[in-house]
Amino acid sequence: MWMHTKNRIQNSGYRIQKVKVLIFWLLTSGFWLLSSDVYAEDLKLQDLIDEALKNNHDLILSELKVSTSKYKIPQVQSFPDPMFMFGYQNEGWNRYTYGDMQGAQWMFSASQMFPFPGKRSLKGEMASKDTESIKALADYARISIIVRVKELYYDLFLIHKNMDLIKDRGLLFSRIEDASIARYSSGMGQQQEVLMAQTEKYMLLEKEEMLRQKQQSIEAMLNTAVGRDVNLALGRPVEPVYTSYKKSMEDIIKMAYENSPQIKSKEKMIAGAEAKVRMAEKEYYPDFTLAGSVFKRRGEFEDMWSLTTTINIPLFYRTKQKMAVLEAESALSEAQHELDATKFMLASGIRENYSMVRTSERLMELYRESLIPKTYQDFEAALSGYTTGKIEAITVISRLKSLIDYDALYWGQFVEREKAIARFEALTGASGQLSAISGQGEDKK
């Protein structure tokens, strides 16, 4: 009789403890759901991209640099400003002799410097190539912003997905807890098994809190990329579609060499450096300054006029013009090597991301087709065996933890694959040409 009363008291205590855990779980989840109602509207990737292209400050800055560089072209193609001179020449020191002496006169002169033919057009070509290079970098910045928004969007989606998995799998831990309490009440199990199951539930709550902290960080970065206030709440990301990806690595590399804004920028820099070489060689030739003068006199002295030409002599060409040519040729060689380095860098990045895409596909198939369903079946079998006393609690818990891990790994690989495909856009400069949409996601399990 005393033992029966003791068991009733203990069972009542565990039921109270279970209720406390359940209340804590519901309060935590309820707070999350209430806070989600504030921004219940779905968060769509394309809307974020459109907003980022309008409001991102780095992108606005890069576009302003393009506009600023265009103003330089007409400046360098223009002639130097004409010069005007006026003055007075007097004969003697004692008095004003204008009109009385032949040499006394007022002088007026206008002059214009004319660069050697071809110099102005070369300067315009140099400025144009610089502008085209800056524009290519602005195109790269535009694609990079799109990729950045996509990566953050996918990271935010993964956090929400992991929190969903925690809530779903937490219900399975409740089944383990119920079984452990039932076994303990019947005298088949130990108190440690109950505590073990409840501890695992608390650990899931801890993991959920850590995900929420990470969510706030990613939302702040996403708001910054879009051009919003960092404290603005974001909705729940819509599940990304699974991107069908067919191109080979060789095709991607070829596309990058043809379309990459980084390569185009380097090519424009090379063209500009070649124009600078030709411009430096033109400096061996002199410029001409034409001047027309009028000398006003009075009385019996007639007015005079003159027309003169001034030519600069590149006398110190060994230390000036020649060195300028060598400097321009060295800059050209530097630009050519930068282009080669950029191509190697793009090829390396493409190979890395291509490998990531294919590896993720294989791992996703492994998780989806084998590990997740088999681990779930193993968990159900272990739970049944634990209920009948054939399997220990630690075995059931380990099976469930493995199931949670495989679920998280599957979605982690899904996100990493989509991010790698997005990075191809920045590497190739061919946004929207790399892949085709195959439908709203996959059949997960």
In the chain, the percentage of residues whose pLDDT exceeds 90 is 57
Residue-level length of the chain: 445
pLDDT tens digits, residue range 77-90? 999 999 999 999 99
Q: Which amino acid is at 299?
A: G
Note whether 100 and 84 are within 8 A (CB).
no
Kindly report the pTM of this predicted structure. Answer: 0.77
pLDDT tens digits, residue range 328-367? 999 999 999 999 999 999 999 999 999 999 999 999 999 9
Return the closest-CA partner of residue 225 out of 45, 404, 34: 45
Dihedral-angle region of residue 441 (phi above 0 means left; psi in -120 to 50 means alpha; beta otherwise): left
- Least confident range from 33-42, 165-174, 175-184, 284-293: namely 33-42
d(CA 25, CA 265): 55
The pLDDT assigned to 376 comes to 87
The pLDDT assigned to 330 comes to 97
Note whether 345 and 253 are within 8 A (CB).
no
